[in-house]
Amino acid sequence: MPRASVREQIVDAAFEQFHKHGYNACGVKLITDSAGVPKGSFYNHFESKEALALVVMDRYGQTRHLEKLQTPKTAPLTRLRDHFDALAQDIVDFGYERGCVYGNFSVEAADHIPAIRDGVRTAFDLWGNAIAAVIREAQDAGDVTTTQSPETLAKFLLNSWEGAIVGERAAKDGSAFAAFFTVAFEVVLH
């Protein structure tokens, strides 16, 4: 099996370290040590830690179970529930110790690093648009009777989801996720 390129080793290590420790706690040395490459090789592939963080956000987006939102022949609200169930399982699988990279970066770096802020905004917009499309389908099918726009509902769900992750990192017992699912699917998307 061919060995991963140095760039990919750095991205893989950064993905793991940023997700585990957050943006601010990860220096270039921690990332390159984790990748098993010399620190100097980092700058052969990335202009800055911020540039690497944007690559990590793109890769993280590929792990957000967006495919569950497009499952053929499945009711829209079932697809939406399956999407959030899969995301919740990811958090549980990490022992409630890792949050969402987008949320973590937003809290840690978006206020003072414009590139991170723009990357997080773009990521949330893409995710929100995918959710809004499913909500629109559910509204068109008569499964969601609310008069709120799909975009407003999607933004509310994403913000509520991020809050539920924070709650779970503190409680570590499933209660914040249970509250999210109850309110989201039995009240908001009614």
pLDDT tens-digit readout, 49-81: 999 999 999 999 999 999 999 988 999 999 999
Q: What is the signed CA dihedral for 154, 155, 158, 164, rounded to 10 degrees? A: -120
Q: What is the signed CA dihedral for 86, 126, 96, 32, rounded to 10 degrees? A: 120
Q: What is the pLDDT of residue 155?
A: 97
Q: Residue 190 burial by CB count (10 A; 0-12/13-18/19+): exposed, middle or buried?
A: exposed
Q: What is the pLDDT of residue 4?
A: 67
What are the residue ranges in the chain where pLDDT is below 70?
Answer: 1-4
Taking the C-alpha atoms of residue 44 and residue 52, their distance in angstroms, rounded to an integer, is 12
Predicted TM-score of the model (pTM):
0.92
Contacts for 12 with CB less than 8 Å, ≥ 6 apart? 4, 35
Q: What is the pLDDT of residue 145?
A: 80
